[in-house]
Amino acid sequence: FFGRLRNMPNYRHVPIMVVSGFLNKDDFRLLQEYPCTSLVEKPFTKVIFEKCVDELVAEATWYGQNAALIDAVLKAVQYD
């Protein structure tokens, strides 16, 4: 589901926070390859939650502002 969502142009940079109480970091290692994605382990504090949200919003904003440049670079190196 996550991969299909990220492959849709309208949802490429929508912030996604994955929250889990039974966290095996190896299960979620692919999330590191996607922008605007964060993993939070339960239990967490309000400060941790707010920091995660702030970071996700900042990252999504940056990617939104630079999406055309990122796509151009990826397209240029696609066949190298």
Show the tokens assigned to 50.
């707010």
Alpha helices of 1-80 — where are they, by DSSP H? 2-7, 46-77
Decide if 55 contacts 38 (C-beta within 8 A): yes
pLDDT score, position 30: 73
0.75 exceeded by pTM: no
Binning pLDDT at 50, 70 and 90, where does residue 80 land? low
Tell me how far apart the alpha carbons of residues 29 and 45 are, in angstroms, rounded to a whole number: 23
Cβ neighbours of residue 37 closer than 8 Å, sequence gap 6 or more = 15, 16, 17, 18, 31, 56
Q: What is the pLDDT of residues 15-45, one digit of tens each?
A: 999 888 876 767 777 777 778 888 888 899 9
With cut-offs at 50, 70 and 90, classify the pLDDT of residue 57: very high
